[in-house]
A and B are shown apart, each in its own frame.
Chain A
Amino acid sequence: MTKEINDLNLPDDVRYTEDHEWAKQEADGIKVGITDYAQDQLGDIVFVELPEAGDTFDKGEQFGTLESVKAVSEMFMPISGEVVSVNEALADTPELVNSEPYGGGWMIVFKPSDAGAIDALMDKAAYMDTLKGLE
């Protein structure tokens, strides 16, 4: 059952990518997860594969995979950087990605190679426009 765009939970305090990840500046780095739209489209998440702390990725590079009852899909780095920590809880409770996409369902925290790069990502209004374009 997919949500209408206006019913989606899209917080103001995170940035968005075209691949439906969100990124948020926190004290120890940038936290990344998938948006409410992404989890809603994928359906029940049953498995999450994440990188290890210390791994480095370029912007746009695949850092993990999500398996839902429908399909397997990739997650891409919003900005280049080095992984600081990953959400170990998702190994046993992948459903957090569906129930709390911006909370307990986060994926990784990474140290960006360019601290200012997060500002280039979309804000809520721009992401909403992107979603409307997909309709």
Chain B
Amino acid sequence: MKEPVGTTGLIFNEPLLWERGAKGRSGFSLPPRDVASSHVADDLRGDGPDFPDLSELDVVRHFTRLSQWNFGVDSGMYPLGSCTMKYNPKTNERQAGLPGLAVSHPLLPQELSQGALKMMFDLQHYLAEITGLPAVTLQPAAGSQGELTGMMVINAYLQSKGEKRSKVLIPDTAHGTNPASATLCGLKSVAVKSNEQGILSTEKIAELMDEDTAGLMVTNPNTLGLFEEDIQKVTEIVHAKGGLVYGDGANMNAIMGIVDIQKLGVDVLHLNLHKTFSTPHGGGGPGSGPICVTEALEPFLPVPRVIEKDGKYLLSEDFPQSVGKLHAFYGNFGILVRAYSYILTMGADLHKASQYAVLNANYIKESLKDVYHLAYDRPCMHECVFNDKLQAAHKVTTLDIAKRLMEYGFHPPTIYFPLVVQGAIMVEPTETESKETIDAFIDTMRTIAQEARENPEQFHEAPQTTKVKRLDETAAARNPCLTG
């Protein structure tokens, strides 16, 4: 193997901001007061917040140093299964930074916001075209809120038919947050075990689906990275009992522009723009979780909705059956711009991103399956799930492998998820990694498997070359320290 990416180097220590600075130091100066002072009512007065006194340089160094400790997709491969940590092209940032978009105010009159509204209107259409589901809302501010919105729409639809159902089916291979969304909608989750092939069995769904069940929350491909081959039969069973199907779009990066989601029998699909459509995750976020629905569910989408009338774009609240408003204004607009930029940049090649994502995952799966146990040895979609079964004899666990991988300069994959695979190591390379990088990852994983056989002791102290060594995760969870 060539020189590993991970190495030691000069890394600055950095104290908490409260340990920096000195009394009276300041990063700004206020202009002299030019109005007379006046009394403020006592009940409006109080002690100021406990902020440290810092100079501008204190603050700049602090955050620059913290940023140097960070690992992101801009610094290395980040194969975090279920998260689609694809590269976020810088052109997206450029478009989102255009002053006409970046400084547009949500309270501007609609006639002065035609460009922004047209962009939202067009983005809805693109997402409809990509998924095959005709009606779209961009309002949900994160994937989790998209899920919740989806389930609220299903509830509202059933209510409009005079029905109140109490349960929902959730496979053990569903996206992990689904039961929370169901619970918030007052639905009781009924767990559905996947079959020995790692997918849903029609018999199991037929057995559990009844007239008190609102429907099914299915993730396809599922969290094992496997395509639900019987999905059409499964959704037929759910529909036959009057239920609806919520499709979790967490894994859309495997099938974007390739699978017509409506034809699968899915009634509501959520999308994570910060996964599939290359907008930033986490600290660079916020997220965005649009939902796409069938024509029958369109009346229930949140308001306001962007509509077109006589060549003008308007925000309309005139949808009496709507579930209402889920977010201030119209969603996380800046994120919508980035997704719009990505879709237009990719154009007719959008589906190729999914093809490469699937190819890359299968390449890793085949290249590592002789040294890491593969839970389900069959063609995968955009991610593959190994575990630590072959390393168990040497007392090397999934956590040890993940920690060792850091020393080689890779972000670890998702570990111990999905729960249906004990000691899971879930790898999602995405389409944006080059073959050289993927080969370096494979070589490293093979090296680690060899080290586990020959020198298992070194694992328990890993990582050693990182800013902080092995953290005590148990102590952090049992006795969290949440103050400065």
Tell me, yes or no, whether B478 is within 8 Å of chain A by CB: yes
Identify B477's interface contact among A1, A2, A46, CB under 8 A.
Answer: A46
**A46→B477 CA distance, assembly (Å):** 6
B417 engages A69 (CB within 8 Å)? no
**A73→B474 CA distance, assembly (Å):** 16
- Report A47-101 residues with CB < 8 Å from chain B CB: 47, 67, 69-71, 73, 94-95
Identify A2's interface contact among B392, B416, B419, B473, CB under 8 A.
Answer: B392
State the main secondary structure of chain A at its contact with B.
Answer: loop
> A73 to chain B: which residues have CB within 8 Å?
419
Count how many chain B residues have C-beta atoms less than 8 Å from C-beta atoms of the other chain. Answer: 13
A46 engages B478 (CB within 8 Å)? yes
CB nearest neighbor in A for B191: A74
**A44→B478 CA distance, assembly (Å):** 10
**A71→B424 CA distance, assembly (Å):** 11
Tell me, yes or no, whether A130 is within 8 Å of chain B by CB: no
Tell me, yes or no, whether A9 is within 8 Å of chain B by CB: no
Tell me, yes or no, whether A113 is within 8 Å of chain B by CB: no
**A41→B392 CA distance, assembly (Å):** 12
A69 engages B397 (CB within 8 Å)? no
B419 engages A71 (CB within 8 Å)? yes
B415–chain A nearest beta-carbon distance, Å = 8
Tell me, yes or no, whether B464 is within 8 Å of chain A by CB: no
B473 engages A69 (CB within 8 Å)? yes
B321–chain A nearest beta-carbon distance, Å = 34
B267–chain A nearest beta-carbon distance, Å = 27
Identify B474's interface contact among A1, A44, A71, CB under 8 A.
Answer: A44
Count how many chain A residues have C-beta atoms less than 8 Å from C-beta atoms of the other chain. Answer: 13
B422 engages A69 (CB within 8 Å)? no
**Number of residue pairs A-B, CB distance < 8 angstroms:** 26
Tell me, yes or no, whether B193 is within 8 Å of chain A by CB: no
Contact of A71 with B397 at beta-carbon distance under 8 Å, contacts A47-B477, A95-B478 already known:
no
> A95 to chain B: which residues have CB within 8 Å?
478
**A129→B422 CA distance, assembly (Å):** 19
> B165 to chain A: which residues have CB within 8 Å?
none
**A70→B473 CA distance, assembly (Å):** 10
Tell me, yes or no, whether B241 is within 8 Å of chain A by CB: no
B188–chain A nearest beta-carbon distance, Å = 10
* Max chain A C-beta neighbours (<10 A), residue from B395, B419, B422, B474: B474
Identify B416's interface contact among A1, A46, A71, CB under 8 A.
Answer: A71
CB nearest neighbor in A for B397: A1
**A95→B478 CA distance, assembly (Å):** 9
A46 engages B397 (CB within 8 Å)? no
> A70 to chain B: which residues have CB within 8 Å?
399, 415-416
**A1→B416 CA distance, assembly (Å):** 14
B417 engages A71 (CB within 8 Å)? yes
- Report B401-445 residues with CB < 8 Å from chain A CB: 415-417, 419, 422
CB nearest neighbor in A for B415: A70
**A110→B153 CA distance, assembly (Å):** 39
Interface 1/0 per residue, B205-216 and A, CB below 8 Å:
000000000000
B395 engages A1 (CB within 8 Å)? yes
A36–chain B nearest beta-carbon distance, Å = 16
Identify A94's interface contact among B392, B415, B473, B478, CB under 8 A.
Answer: B478
**A41→B417 CA distance, assembly (Å):** 14
> A67 to chain B: which residues have CB within 8 Å?
477
**A90→B355 CA distance, assembly (Å):** 49
B422 engages A41 (CB within 8 Å)? yes
Q: What are 26 of the A-B contact pairs (CB < 8 Å)?
A: A1-B395, A1-B397, A2-B392, A2-B397, A41-B422, A44-B473, A44-B474, A44-B477, A44-B478, A46-B474, A46-B477, A46-B478, A47-B477, A67-B477, A69-B473, A69-B474, A69-B477, A70-B399, A70-B415, A70-B416, A71-B416, A71-B417, A71-B419, A73-B419, A94-B478, A95-B478
Residue ranges of A at the interface with B (Cβ–Cβ < 8 Å): 1-2, 41, 44, 46-47, 67, 69-71, 73, 94-95
With A70-B415, A94-B478 given, name 18 new contacts (CB 8 A): A1-B395, A1-B397, A2-B392, A41-B422, A44-B473, A44-B474, A44-B478, A46-B474, A46-B477, A46-B478, A47-B477, A67-B477, A69-B473, A69-B474, A69-B477, A70-B399, A71-B419, A95-B478
